[in-house]
């Protein structure tokens, strides 16, 4: 059976110290396996499509918020879901993620994507064009800093040698989950990642995505043994649907509560969807 994670633990009512701690510790106590934090550095104001949020909707920086969550939880895995990689300096981000893995005692999952919101990318100073290739290069550079004895990298957007960075992540390798529904995202996941994340998919859409992912792996000659498939379901979960997602090859389901819930309503949402209630595998 898939395990169960919880999304948006840095957004809305969780964009406060009290809210993040209450929901994060509750989810851990109920057997959720992971807490996922999304990223939007800025939002278009006034709102324009395809922005998922209004400009005044609160979102904590996921890396800072995960550092806070590492201090108030003990077991639950802590995930970025997702960091928009082309918007970040890869050398600085590699240090931040290594730090998070150390202070969380090896509980970090690095979820990454390439972005889709042009006003946000422009505000950060990164062009939309070529963002996929930029993300691929950034990830390779970060892995060099995490894994090589003498880190060095030379690419179009980042270059370094004669440097080092410690402490390294406790997890070797640090798990990297690539988000995105395109064929390019599937190729990126099997080429550079340890897993894939699909956002708001019903079972039919998830089946198509998993099939495309497996095709990309076959074309790349990659064995998907140990490769994790994570999906945020676009349907209400119960034992039958959890089992059906598991039969598709999904390893983890990450619940996405409505963004406008009050703290009390979010607590009730989490309690009502605890792993034992919906038939998911509780965290060990």
pLDDT the model gives residue 150? 98
The pLDDT > 90 percentage for the chain reads 99
Q: What is the pLDDT of residues 72-85, one digit of tens each?
A: 999 999 999 999 99
* Residue whose tokens read 């402490």: 167
Separation of CA 4 from chain center: 14
Average pLDDT, the chain: 97
- In this structure, the number of other CB atoms found within 10 A of the CB of residue 127 comes to 11
What Å distances lie between residue 25 and 47, 121, 156, CA to CA? 33, 33, 43
* Residue whose tokens read 């639950």: 76
Query: Whole-angstrom Cα distance, residue 49 to residue 34?
Result: 30
Strand partners, 222: none
Query: Whole-angstrom Cα distance, residue 245 to residue 242?
Result: 5
Handedness of CA 243, 244, 248, 252 (dihedral sign): negative
Q: What is the pLDDT of residues 104-163, one digit of tens each?
A: 999 999 999 999 999 999 999 999 999 999 999 999 999 999 999 999 999 999 999 999
pLDDT of 239 higher than 80 = yes
pLDDT band at 198 (very low <50, low <70, confident <90, very high): very high
Indicate the CATH number for domain 3-278.
3.20.20.30
pTM: 0.97
What Å distances lie between residue 27 and 20, 41, 95, 241, CA to CA? 11, 26, 28, 21
pLDDT the model gives residue 284? 73
Give me the residue spans of the domains in the chain: 3-278
Determine contact, residues 107/101, Cβ cutoff 8 Å.
yes
- In this structure, the number of other CB atoms found within 10 A of the CB of residue 32 comes to 28
Q: What is the mean pLDDT of residues 160-186?
A: 98
pLDDT the model gives residue 257? 97
What Å distances lie between residue 266 and 137, 257, 271, CA to CA? 38, 7, 9
């Amino acid at each position: 059976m898939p395990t169960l994670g919880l999304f948006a633990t840095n957004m809305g009512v969780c964009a406060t110290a009290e809210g993040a701690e209450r929901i994060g510790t509750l989810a851990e106590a109920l057997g959720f396996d992971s807490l996922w934090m999304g990223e939007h550095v800025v939002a278009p104001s006034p709102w324009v499509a395809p922005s998922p949020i209004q400009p005044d909707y609160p979102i904590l920086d996921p890396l800072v918020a995960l550092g806070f969550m590492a201090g108030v939880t003990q077991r639950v895995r802590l995930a970025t879901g997702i960091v928009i990689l082309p918007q970040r300096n890869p050398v600085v981000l590699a240090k931040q993620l290594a730090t998070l893995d150390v202070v969380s005692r090896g509980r970090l999952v690095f979820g990454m994507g390439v972005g889709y919101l042009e006003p946000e990318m422009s505000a950060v100073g990164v062009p939309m064009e070529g963002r996929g290739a930029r993300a691929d290069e950034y990830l390779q550079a970060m892995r060099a800093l995490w894994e090589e004895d003498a880190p060095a990298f030379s690419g179009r957007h980042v270059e370094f040698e004669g440097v080092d960075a410690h402490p390294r992540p406790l997890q070797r390798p640090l798990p990297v989950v690539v988000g995105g529904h395109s064929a390019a995202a599937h190729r990126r996941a099997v080429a550079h990642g340890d897993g894939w994340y699909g956002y708001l998919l019903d079972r039919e859409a998830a089946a198509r995505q998993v099939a495309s992912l497996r095709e990309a792996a076959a074309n790349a000659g990659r064995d998907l043994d140990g490769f994790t498939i994570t999906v945020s379901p676009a349907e209400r979960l119960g034992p039958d649907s959890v089992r059906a997602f598991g039969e598709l090859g999904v390893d983890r389901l990450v619940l996405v509560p409505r963004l406008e819930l009050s703290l009390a309503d979010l607590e009730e949402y989490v309690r009502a969807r605890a792993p034992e209630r919906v038939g998911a595998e509780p965290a060990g």
